[in-house]
């Protein structure tokens, strides 16, 4: 009996020492990890408000699932540009090519409890995108760039997540770069199609942008319209998966975390860096 207790004490000790809550990093390239935020003590925490970060093991995800694992080190540093950002060293553990941006999550729960599947969009999906473009008087074809399927909220019905972009994505050295709008109507759009019950299919637009008038250099910055699904992960441990979306601006980029609250998708974390 005494032996059992000592085993339990050792187990208890190791549980107590395991990192609590979740930390989400964004990898823009192999050796650069920036903190998007954390979920700790029942709250979402922006990177800027994190006082410390312990050495953690991470799983690395792209839009369609897990793509690597990584070991983090203790500590946070503040970069020269975007001084509200926090960076931390991260070493990828599996030798396989990955596409950036990617997301590293450390959490004591399964961050992807149900599969996320990439699929070929059908005419019905193009029609749904076309309807949203029409609604905004965007006169461009529905060019779907990502089509993912996953049961986000564990109600037994898959949600459909789409990104649509004109121009499409631009890949440079293994990294997605934002595309500048060149014509009026060039756009980026992210939407979720969700069955609210057996019959009601609702479309939720998470992000949309388009070029309204030609850029002539007289004011503002040229418009980057790229909008993309970054990863689908349970970041707060409630068994429901959140959506990470990505946006680009002139010499800048960002990630936003969306959580389904039972009625709509709400922003719970935002990260960005731009000059």
The site for Ca ion (CB under 5 A) is made up of 151, 153, 155, 157, 234, 236, 238, 240
Inter-residue contact 151 to 158 (CB < 8 Å): yes
The CB-of-90 to Ca ion minimum distance in angstroms stands at 23
Query: 269 has which bridge partners?
Result: 257
Q: How far is CA 43 from CA 46, 55, 77, 235, 262, in A?
A: 10, 21, 22, 11, 18
Residue 112 beta carbon to Ca ion: minimum distance, rounded to whole angstroms: 11
Q: Which is nearer to Ca ion, 46 or 155 (CB)?
A: 155
Q: Please, are residues 192 and 201 in contact by the beta-carbon 8 Å criterion?
A: no
Q: Which two tokens stand for residue 236?
A: 């707060």
Beta bridge partners of 265: 260
3-class SS at 72? strand
Report the residue number, 138 or 229, with the smaller CB distance to Ca ion: 229
Of 26 and 240, the one with the shorter C-beta distance to Ca ion is 240
Q: What is the closest distance, in whole angstroms, from the C-beta atom of residue 191 to Ca ion in the complex?
A: 15
Residue with tokens 């950036």: 100
| Residue whose CB is less far from Ca ion, 187 or 260 | 260
Shortest spacing between CB 153 and Ca ion, in angstroms: 5
């Amino acid at each position: 009996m005494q032996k059992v207790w000592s085993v339990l004490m050792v187990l208890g000790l190791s549980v107590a020492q395991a990192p609590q809550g979740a930390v989400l990093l964004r990898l823009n390239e192999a050796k650069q990890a920036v903190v998007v935020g954390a979920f700790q003590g029942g709250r979402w925490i922006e990177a800027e408000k994190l006082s410390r970060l312990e050495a953690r093991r991470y799983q690395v995800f792209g839009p369609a699932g897990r793509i690597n694992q990584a070991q983090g080190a203790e500590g946070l540093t503040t970069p020269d540009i975007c001084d509200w950002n926090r960076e931390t060293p991260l070493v990828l553990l599996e030798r396989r090519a990955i596409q950036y941006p990617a997301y590293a999550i450390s959490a004591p729960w399964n961050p992807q409890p149900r599969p996320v599947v990439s699929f070929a969009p059908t005419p019905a999906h193009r029609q749904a995108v076309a309807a949203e473009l029409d609604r905004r008087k965007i006169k461009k074809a529905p060019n779907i760039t990502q089509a993912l399927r996953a049961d986000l909220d564990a109600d037994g019905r898959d949600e459909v997540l789409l990104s649509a972009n004109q121009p499409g994505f631009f890949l440079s050295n293994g990294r997605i770069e934002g595309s500048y709008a060149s014509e009026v109507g060039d756009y980026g759009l992210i939407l979720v199609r969700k069955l609210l019950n057996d019959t009601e299919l609702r479309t939720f637009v998470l992000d949309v942008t388009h070029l309204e008038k030609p850029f002539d250099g007289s004011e503002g910055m040229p418009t980057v319209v790229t909008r993309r699904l970054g990863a689908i992960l349970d970041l707060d441990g409630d068994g429901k998966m959140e959506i990470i979306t990505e946006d680009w601006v002139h010499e800048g980029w960002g990630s936003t975390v969306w959580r389904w609250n039972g009625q709509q998708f709400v922003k719970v974390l935002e990260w960005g860096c731009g000059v």
